[in-house]
Amino acid sequence: MNVPVQYRIRPVSPEAHLFEVTLTVREPAKKGQVFQLPAWIPGSYMIREFSRHIIALTASSGSKKIALQKLDKHTWQAAPVKGPLVLSYQVYAYDLSVRGAWLDSQRGFFNGTSVFLMAEGYETSPCEVEILPPEGKHYEDWQVATALPAVDVKKKSAFGRYRAANYDELIDHPVEMGRFERVSFKACGVPHEFVISGRFTADLKRLAKDVKKICEWQIRFFGEPAPFDRYVFMLFAGKDIYGGLEHRASTALMANRDDLPAPGASDITDGYLQLLGLISHEYFHSWNVKRMKPAVFTPYDLTREGHTTLLWAFEGITSYYDDIALVRSGLIDEKRYLGLLAKTLSGVRRGAGRLKQTLVDSSFDAWTKYYRQDENSPNSIVSYYTKGSLAALALDLLIRRDTANAKSLDDVMKALWAKWLADGKGLEEGEWEAVAAQATGLDLAPFFDKALRSTEELPLEDLLATQGITLEWDYAESASDHGSLVEAVKPRPARLTLGVKTAADASGVKLTHVLDGGAAQAAGLSGGDVLIAIDGLKATDLDKALARFAAGDTVRAHAFRRDELIEVALRLTESAKDTCRFIVAEHSGRWIGQAK
């Protein structure tokens, strides 16, 4: 062993979802070596207490068992020893997400934050990890995929030894193992690999071709060379799942299997478009948050919350560019992009939380509000992803307008990247705004005060008009109407609405959220209630049920709250004009497909 810290991990019992980990410290601290597991994972801002999944933790030195003392919820200290110290433990892995660890007889996956205890004092020391396969014939064809640098691995399966420069690098390379399909391509000369697990049928050559376009546009946007030597996409395809988490040279993704491009198909379905947008988002993070990042994240303190007001810039701006990249790389056209933008605008408009929480507060409170949402969240918070992307749009259009299209948000992002290349430092809380002002030569303080530190509406109607786009607010035609491009907004009557968000339920209609000012809230219905009848008839389709009445009518409704039947009187109200319609003039050099 030629490194001070060495790990070994094996799926010891896939049926019981258990990884077995050993950690060897060659020269443990004289006063007793301390070990700690992260409480959260970078990119997902919530304390997750990964240590709760550790089982049967023991320590030894040679043949001697060493006492361990637990210091807090995720920290242990071994008694002093002479010679190497070996820590052994199991990790329960049954978190089907991109954030934790998963293991069953079909697939294994882990982030280092879930499985690798850190040896205090060795945070910056190089380390090695040996990844072993499960035992048994059933697992003979399992393989490994990871962006970790290999030291000595088997040619076909890639099980074996890997090395990281330090603990931070070790936990920033998730590992996929099992049976999967893979497709490779080069983007600007850099090897990329797409690994897909789960049950699916897809045109992987087309997927690689499309994703290559996204990658090459983004690399060239920030400037070659790419900030990594190779890159790995790891996608689990299943049912009713969605998500992604960025890493320095890879990303973990989850998506519906039907969203993958079907063999023989050439169109971009809404599901495939959503997947491409997710891929674009996580890849853009390779620059915007994995390298450029808030100062509070340099270095990460994974034992406690790292509060910053800048998540709107790192997530919201990434959410702006993820779809813009699809246009500029040639995958979708301007109209398809505007359809996505209309949906985002409508979604933000429909939440009363935008009138109560600013973007800087949304960023700062991500730990306790955005990542811990409940039935009242639409009434109390705004997303720094979605409203952040709209603030980025507004800023981009404002810069273009006030510099006669000589500058744009592109110039700000490139200036930020140049700064990071020069000093490698994180951004202090007010520094992002200062760099934007310097890069554009504009006084942007009034815009930032309004967009970030107030709950005023963004001036998007005026700014979009400078691009030949008219934004009007309209009534939704149905619950599935999230906005659209139209030749003209046609007069239509308002729909009746209860002011709720719903989900299917075997008994009726489940109210997932009851919105401020709506009929349901006024009548005393709450999130979690299951509406079973309106005016004596079973509740299944709310639009059809309400179409029989007029605004101001009062109808009886029955619902279950837990196991208790309640009856309320609903005084029906009209919907608000909260649906975005774009009327687009003939092309006049709009910004959508124009990188600066």
pLDDT higher than threshold 80 for residue 281: yes
In the 8-state DSSP scheme, what is residue 333?
Answer: -
122 Cβ contact partners less than 8 Å away, ≥ 6 residues apart: 4, 5, 25, 167
Q: Does residue 563 share a domain with residue 504?
A: yes
- Domain holding 302, by residue range, is 287-468+589-596
What is the residue-averaged pLDDT of the chain? 96
The predicted-structure confidence for 61-93, as pLDDT tens digits, reads as follows 999 999 999 999 999 999 999 999 999 999 999
Contact present, 506 and 490 (Cβ < 8 Å): no
User: Looking at per-residue confidence, does 591 or 97 come out higher?
Assistant: 97
Contact present, 514 and 375 (Cβ < 8 Å): yes
- Determine, yes or no, domain membership for 479: no
Percentages (nearest 5) of helix, strand, coil residues in the chain: 30, 30, 40
Contact present, 126 and 186 (Cβ < 8 Å): no
pLDDT higher than threshold 80 for residue 587: no
pLDDT higher than threshold 60 for residue 444: yes
pLDDT of residue 595: 62
Listed residues 177, 203, 224: the one ending a domain: 177
pLDDT band at 588 (very low <50, low <70, confident <90, very high): low
Q: Does residue 255 share a domain with residue 125?
A: no
CATH of the domain at 551: 2.30.42.10
pLDDT of residue 2: 81
Q: Does residue 367 share a domain with residue 346?
A: yes
pLDDT of residue 69: 97
Q: Does residue 297 share a domain with residue 431?
A: yes
pLDDT of residue 399: 98
CATH of the domain at 189: 3.30.2010
pLDDT band at 493 (very low <50, low <70, confident <90, very high): confident
pLDDT of residue 590: 82
pLDDT higher than threshold 60 for residue 596: no
pLDDT higher than threshold 90 for residue 322: yes
The predicted-structure confidence for 166-214, as pLDDT tens digits, reads as follows 999 999 999 999 999 999 999 999 999 999 999 999 999 999 999 999 9
Q: Does residue 159 share a domain with residue 13?
A: yes
pLDDT higher than threshold 90 for residue 48: yes
- Determine, yes or no, domain membership for 477: no
Listed residues 149, 177, 205: the one ending a domain: 177
- Determine, yes or no, domain membership for 131: yes
Nearest to 43 by CA among 381, 387, 353, 286: 286
Q: Does residue 234 share a domain with residue 146?
A: no
- Determine, yes or no, domain membership for 581: no
- Determine, yes or no, domain membership for 482: no
Q: Does residue 372 share a domain with residue 506?
A: no
The domain tally of the chain equals 4
Q: Does residue 419 share a domain with residue 353?
A: yes
Dihedral sign of CA atoms 361, 293, 287, 210 in order: negative
Q: Does residue 130 share a domain with residue 119?
A: yes
Contact present, 310 and 432 (Cβ < 8 Å): yes
How many Å apart are CA 210 and CA 215, to the nearest integer? 9
pLDDT higher than threshold 80 for residue 1: no
Identify which of 113-127, 476-490, 494-508 has the greatest average pLDDT.
Answer: 113-127
- Determine, yes or no, domain membership for 277: no
pLDDT of residue 72: 96
Q: Does residue 184 share a domain with residue 171?
A: no
CATH of the domain at 112: 2.60.40.3650
pLDDT of residue 450: 98
The predicted-structure confidence for 121-136, as pLDDT tens digits, reads as follows 999 999 999 999 999 9
pLDDT band at 492 (very low <50, low <70, confident <90, very high): confident
Q: Does residue 232 share a domain with residue 150?
A: no
CATH of the domain at 396: 1.10.390.10
Listed residues 124, 144, 177: the one ending a domain: 177
Tell me, rounded to whole angstroms, the distance of Cα 562 from its chain centroid.
Answer: 32
pLDDT higher than threshold 70 for residue 475: yes
- Determine, yes or no, domain membership for 119: yes
Cα–Cα distances in Å, from 560 out to 42, 48, 418, 543, 557? Answer: 40, 32, 58, 20, 10
Name the residue with tokens 């089982």.
55
Q: Does residue 401 share a domain with residue 309?
A: yes
pLDDT higher than threshold 90 for residue 386: yes
Cα–Cα distances in Å, from 589 out to 334, 585, 592? Answer: 11, 11, 9
The predicted-structure confidence for 231-280, as pLDDT tens digits, reads as follows 999 999 999 999 999 999 999 999 999 999 999 999 999 999 999 999 99
- Determine, yes or no, domain membership for 278: no
